[in-house]
Amino acid sequence: MRHKKILMARLNNPTPRSKPKLEDTLPVIDNDDNENQDNDTAALKEKIKNLEEIILNKDKELSSSKRKINLLKHSNRHLKNRVEKLIKYNNITNLKLIETRKTIREHVFLVNNDTDKMKFYTDLPSFEIFDEIFNFVKDHVDRDENSIKLTHKQEFIIVLMRLRLGLLEQDLAYRFGVSQPTISRIINRWIGVMATRLEFLIHWPEREQLRKTMPCLDVFWITLKNVLLFWTVLRFLSRSLQI
């Protein structure tokens, strides 16, 4: 009974516990944990430093890219202006070319619109014969890529006018609006082909016929030249025989 009373008294009046000290509430950290934390902090700082360097390099690359973009924009504007100028120049050149071709066509009227003019300038009796001869020869003549002002038919007309009238190359150059070297190249390209393709139309007169139709003064000079040549040869032979 006594023990029961003592037990009840303890339950009703428990003994107060003593408060824990501050040292007991703090976790216990040993030296190894401190070293690990220092290493982690150093590694983290190193990563931050590396990231800062990467960001700095990226900023430099970005600035360099911006400068390049600005240069490209400036170059693009310059090229656009140049293209516009070239387009204008091309348009002006095309207009000049059209005007030049019109001028050339005006020169071609000399033979294209009048049978009498055709006869006078080319010695051909009709346009039909002119076209037949032209078609027979033209495919064998090389085209001069630099001669963009004149057509194939105009070149053929130039050659016929040169043969028919003996016009100077500079005269033909003035008539057709081209340079004298261009006329010279045209004649050289056509003459050989015409001599080959039209050989059956070419008739060389005999010597006697040439003498009959030759002016008297020319006959005199040719005879005199022959006499002088014969006399020179005769003197040379006589000296050779004496030696």
Statement to judge: residues 85 and 121 lie in one domain: no
Assess if residue 22 is contained within a domain: no
Statement to judge: residues 62 and 128 lie in one domain: no
Assess if residue 30 is contained within a domain: no
Statement to judge: residues 79 and 142 lie in one domain: no
Statement to judge: residues 80 and 193 lie in one domain: no
Statement to judge: residues 73 and 119 lie in one domain: no
Number of domains in the chain: 2
Assess whether pLDDT exceeds 50 at residue 22. no
Assess if residue 18 is contained within a domain: no
Tell me which of 68, 87, 107 is where a domain ends: 107
Assess if residue 213 is contained within a domain: yes
pLDDT (tens digit, 9 = 90+) per residue, 153-205?
888 999 999 988 888 999 998 888 888 999 999 999 998 888 888 888 777 77
What separation in angstroms does the CA of 241 have from each of 227, 231, 237, 238?
21, 15, 6, 5
Statement to judge: residues 157 and 76 lie in one domain: no
Statement to judge: residues 89 and 183 lie in one domain: no
Tell me which of 107, 127, 144 is where a domain ends: 107
Assess if residue 19 is contained within a domain: no
Statement to judge: residues 129 and 163 lie in one domain: yes
Statement to judge: residues 157 and 88 lie in one domain: no
**What tokens does 214 get?**
């030759």
Phi, psi at residue 14, to the nearest 5°?
-70, 155
Domain that holds residue 69: 53-107
Assess if residue 17 is contained within a domain: no
Phi, psi at residue 149, to the nearest 5°?
-80, -30
Assess if residue 39 is contained within a domain: no
Assess if residue 43 is contained within a domain: no
CA R_g for the chain: 55
Statement to judge: residues 175 and 210 lie in one domain: yes
Tokens 């982690």 locate to: 40
Say whether pTM exceeds 0.75: no
Tell me which of 107, 137, 170 is where a domain ends: 107
Statement to judge: residues 131 and 207 lie in one domain: yes
Statement to judge: residues 159 and 205 lie in one domain: yes
What's residue 169's pLDDT?
92
Which residues make Cβ contacts (< 8 Å) with residue 111, sequence separation at least 6? Answer: 117, 118, 121, 122, 130, 157
pLDDT (tens digit, 9 = 90+) per residue, 44-60?
888 888 888 888 888 88
% of the chain beyond a pLDDT of 70:
65
pLDDT (tens digit, 9 = 90+) per residue, 57-113?
888 888 888 888 988 888 888 898 999 999 999 999 888 887 776 665 555 545 566
